[in-house]
Chains A and B, each alone.
Chain A
């Protein structure tokens, strides 16, 4: 849904141009008519005109494409984050006291603050240069992938609903019920064989997530209740329901404990580590990767996925084409809930196996929305965005520990990235990138026209 409205605002229907050109010609304004004529030719022509210089073409193609906007957005967000670090850094504040006497001091202090922060971020997210061995140095990267595991799965859940025109804000609730279901099977059912136990727990969690989201789909399909409101309400209902289970002895509370926390997940129901006991990374990451492939296939190669996309693009047209819109709405929410449920079970059966509380969702349900937006609601994009945000999370904790910079700065940077990516014309204007299918001249004429009509 973001695709249609946000990505190509520069594209215009041809008719207004034609009309305007005719009108201009009729009014004997040769200059304007000529310009409109050129503009029309440009729109008809392929986005990038071929010239002799192949490298130049390639550069322009990249600069006009979505990747340049994504990079620009990330750069802008990182600059904003740097400013926040500089403003709050004590050394910088001290040096700013005598800025006019020795401006160099403040700049050095600012550079040190920002450099230290981003170095800590990188070393916490990718590779720790201070480690003795390669195996220890690579540890942050595995932590990034561990963090990315639920983000990818939940991001897919949000993205697939997006493609069907539904905004699934209920990630928190879906994760909570799936975690509760999987966790309960994990420590409540004993005596199952090793692999069977794990599979039963996973199925229970995924089903619970699917059904919880399915409520929203059903209400939307049957009564037209807005899915945003329903999923938000279901978040709170799930939170208090799970809190009640957690606080009640005999339901989910660990025996002999007064805390609202479950017993640990038994060995037979945990996802085994992927790279050995040394790292936190577990097989849940592989499940998330599989989910990426499945969702890609579902969306791009299956009839069901086609119906989702058709409903998302234009429900009325989809209905005319014979697609059962209510049915697609319910089924896409079931799939979305199952994917968010996958995120819930990777948390409970993989990452947090020592028993969990009502904060097991760890904000992933909401982060997933930003992941899906950054990934442009396509599965491969979600994979990349999930790993990026997983890295931010891992690096942010390291930055907080090493430099004392609160981890919330990561929230700011993440949300700014998504905000800028959602508004490509803004990013292009800031970096003076060419608008797609146009030269800077056209951009000027467009804004000028907008001012006239506004």
Chain B
């Protein structure tokens, strides 16, 4: 917050537009985070050594467990982070933008320092593989949801309904997957159901030009109501036939899965995780390298211009939303054919909103949005892992972390984040 208040003096919201907007936002945000980190170390010193386990038994070669002194490592990492802050300040003073790698290194070293501090004195090993692998799995629905948001919003429709797409996908995948005993059918059904939700969004926002945020909010409530209603009345009495799916098996990729650290994390996953990487690339390519993507972005930025050159704005938006829905549905299927084998009431638990935040954090770019999704998944799993090693931080604060990071991000770090120009405006062809 302090970053925000200080910043107001430098960048008035309606200041005349200049070509290079160098602000102190980044430096100040980094400085505030570093100060909080230092405060944590000073107020809650945590003696002992931290044990990092990097290998799993099946690897090509074994890396011994790293044992480092907790507090010393934490302070060294803090010093490195301070160097990054200094670099950022220096760049800003010379009226240059801080390059991307500075905050990235800053985050990485602070993370290592934080882990060293948190795991210090614990007799258990902190499994790096477990931390990263779990994070990847937890971020799957977030990444799919964020991609769904990116496609929809690039075409000019705010998609607050990601949550309902995930939930509808999870529900339908549970039923279809249970009836056919095939996770693939469940996946396809989830895509169809989420596309249906997207179609409702499209009809109301594009054809009837209702406020997009209103429709999104209402759709979330509607889908929660529908799925919970039918869950209690239909799924619970028929659990064996309607709510017991067969999950996707893990598919280890030969040889690659035995590389230390990376192998078990990246190459021993289910098909939905592999598909996620493929789809991030496909969405990026489709949006920025194909005619379809060009038209879609044109419709989101300047529909009048697109219309003038012959692009059917409404049809383009409909198609974009349907594709977005199908992608969101794949994230929903994760819950019932990958994570566990049955549907539960409101099991998405707000993941759609985090996906929305990831999309904004990622500046409406598929690759960055996916990275933001991974980050949020990581933050969630960090809490799980730290509770295993016995972290001194109350779990609630760890759980709060991704949201605070997002707040800082939308207020400061992603300062130049700009939504598509025609977002939230219905288009009338007249």
User: Which residues of A are interface residues toward B (Cβ below 8 A)?
Assistant: 1-2, 5-6, 9, 12, 16, 84, 88, 167, 169, 215, 218-219, 221-226, 228-230, 232-234, 236-237, 240-241, 243-244, 247-248, 319, 326, 366, 369-370, 373, 405-406, 408-412, 414-416, 418-419, 422-423, 425-426, 450, 453-454
Query: Is there a chain A Cβ closer than 8 Å to B13's Cβ?
Result: yes
Residue contact B208 to A366, C-beta cutoff 8 Å: no
Residue contact A229 to B360, C-beta cutoff 8 Å: yes
Distance A55 CA – B350 CA, assembled complex (angstroms): 51
Query: Is there a chain A Cβ closer than 8 Å to B218's Cβ?
Result: yes
Distance A377 CA – B397 CA, assembled complex (angstroms): 36
Query: Is there a chain A Cβ closer than 8 Å to B232's Cβ?
Result: yes
Residues of A contacting B222 in the complex (Cβ-Cβ under 8 angstroms):
411-412, 415-416, 419
Residue contact B400 to A223, C-beta cutoff 8 Å: no
Residue contact A415 to B218, C-beta cutoff 8 Å: yes
Known: A419-B210, A426-B208. 5 other contacts (CB 8 A): A223-B4, A232-B356, A237-B404, A405-B233, A422-B210
Distance A352 CA – B151 CA, assembled complex (angstroms): 44
Distance A406 CA – B236 CA, assembled complex (angstroms): 12
- Which A-chain residue is minimally distant from B1 (CB atoms)? A215
Distance A16 CA – B429 CA, assembled complex (angstroms): 12
Interface size class of B (residues with CB under 8 A): 35 or more
Query: Is there a chain A Cβ closer than 8 Å to B396's Cβ?
Result: yes
Of B218, B412, B430, which contacts A453 at CB under 8 A?
A: B430
A-contact 0/1 string along B312-349, CB 8 Å cutoff: 10100000000000000000000000000000000000
Q: List 25 A-B contacts (CB under 8 A).
A: A1-B211, A6-B210, A88-B229, A167-B213, A215-B1, A218-B1, A222-B13, A226-B419, A229-B357, A233-B357, A233-B404, A233-B407, A236-B403, A244-B394, A248-B394, A366-B217, A408-B224, A414-B225, A418-B218, A422-B218, A425-B208, A426-B208, A453-B430, A454-B312, A454-B314
| Contact of A237 with B218 at beta-carbon distance under 8 Å, contacts A9-B209, A223-B8, A423-B210 already known | no
Residues of B contacting A453 in the complex (Cβ-Cβ under 8 angstroms):
429-430
CB distance from A152 to the nearest CB of B (A): 18
Query: Is there a chain A Cβ closer than 8 Å to B55's Cβ?
Result: no
Residue contact B214 to A2, C-beta cutoff 8 Å: yes
Residues of A contacting B224 in the complex (Cβ-Cβ under 8 angstroms):
408, 411
Residue contact A225 to B410, C-beta cutoff 8 Å: yes
A interface: dominant SS = helix
- Which A-chain residue is minimally distant from B3 (CB atoms)? A223
- Which B-chain residue is minimally distant from A248 (CB atoms)? B394
Of B218, B350, B407, which contacts A230 at CB under 8 A?
A: B407
Residues of B contacting A326 in the complex (Cβ-Cβ under 8 angstroms):
13
B interface: dominant SS = helix
User: Which residues of B are interface residues toward A (Cβ below 8 A)?
Assistant: 1, 4-5, 7-8, 13-14, 25, 160, 204, 208-211, 213-215, 217-219, 221-222, 224-226, 228-230, 232-234, 312, 314, 350, 353, 356-357, 360, 394, 396-397, 399-400, 403-404, 406-407, 410-412, 415, 419, 426, 429-430
| Contact of A226 with B225 at beta-carbon distance under 8 Å, contacts A408-B232, A423-B208, A425-B208 already known | no
Distance A2 CA – B217 CA, assembled complex (angstroms): 13
Residue contact A219 to B230, C-beta cutoff 8 Å: no
| Contact of A415 with B219 at beta-carbon distance under 8 Å, contacts A236-B350, A408-B225 already known | yes
Residues of A contacting B5 in the complex (Cβ-Cβ under 8 angstroms):
218, 222
- Which A-chain residue is minimally distant from B8 (CB atoms)? A222
| Contact of A454 with B429 at beta-carbon distance under 8 Å, contacts A222-B4, A326-B13 already known | yes
Residues of B contacting A169 in the complex (Cβ-Cβ under 8 angstroms):
217
Residues of B contacting A88 in the complex (Cβ-Cβ under 8 angstroms):
229-230, 233-234
Residues of B contacting A373 in the complex (Cβ-Cβ under 8 angstroms):
214, 218
Residue contact B204 to A422, C-beta cutoff 8 Å: yes
| Contact of A410 with B4 at beta-carbon distance under 8 Å, contacts A237-B404, A423-B208 already known | no
Nearest 3 A/B pairs, CB to CB: A411-B225, A412-B225, A244-B396
Residue contact B211 to A415, C-beta cutoff 8 Å: no
Distance A236 CA – B306 CA, assembled complex (angstroms): 39
Residues of B contacting A222 in the complex (Cβ-Cβ under 8 angstroms):
4-5, 7-8, 13
Residue contact A240 to B400, C-beta cutoff 8 Å: yes
| Contact of A243 with B396 at beta-carbon distance under 8 Å, contacts A228-B213, A370-B218 already known | yes
Residues of B contacting A409 in the complex (Cβ-Cβ under 8 angstroms):
225, 229
CB distance from A23 to the nearest CB of B (A): 13
Distance A454 CA – B429 CA, assembled complex (angstroms): 7
CB distance from A212 to the nearest CB of B (A): 12
Residues of B contacting A12 in the complex (Cβ-Cβ under 8 angstroms):
430
Residues of A contacting B219 in the complex (Cβ-Cβ under 8 angstroms):
415, 419
Residues of B contacting A84 in the complex (Cβ-Cβ under 8 angstroms):
226, 229
| Contact of A406 with B13 at beta-carbon distance under 8 Å, contacts A233-B403, A237-B400, A241-B400 already known | no
Residues of A contacting B228 in the complex (Cβ-Cβ under 8 angstroms):
406, 408, 411
Which of B8, B214, B399 has the largest number of chain A CB atoms within 10 A? Answer: B214
- Which A-chain residue is minimally distant from B209 (CB atoms)? A9
Residue contact B218 to A240, C-beta cutoff 8 Å: no
Residues of A contacting B360 in the complex (Cβ-Cβ under 8 angstroms):
226, 229
Residues of A contacting B217 in the complex (Cβ-Cβ under 8 angstroms):
169, 366, 369-370
Residues of A contacting B411 in the complex (Cβ-Cβ under 8 angstroms):
219, 223, 225, 230
Of B14, B221, B412, which contacts A223 at CB under 8 A?
A: B412
Residue contact A240 to B210, C-beta cutoff 8 Å: no
Residue contact B400 to A9, C-beta cutoff 8 Å: no
CB distance from A216 to the nearest CB of B (A): 10
Distance A12 CA – B350 CA, assembled complex (angstroms): 40
Distance A326 CA – B12 CA, assembled complex (angstroms): 10
Distance A59 CA – B286 CA, assembled complex (angstroms): 54
Distance A1 CA – B218 CA, assembled complex (angstroms): 16
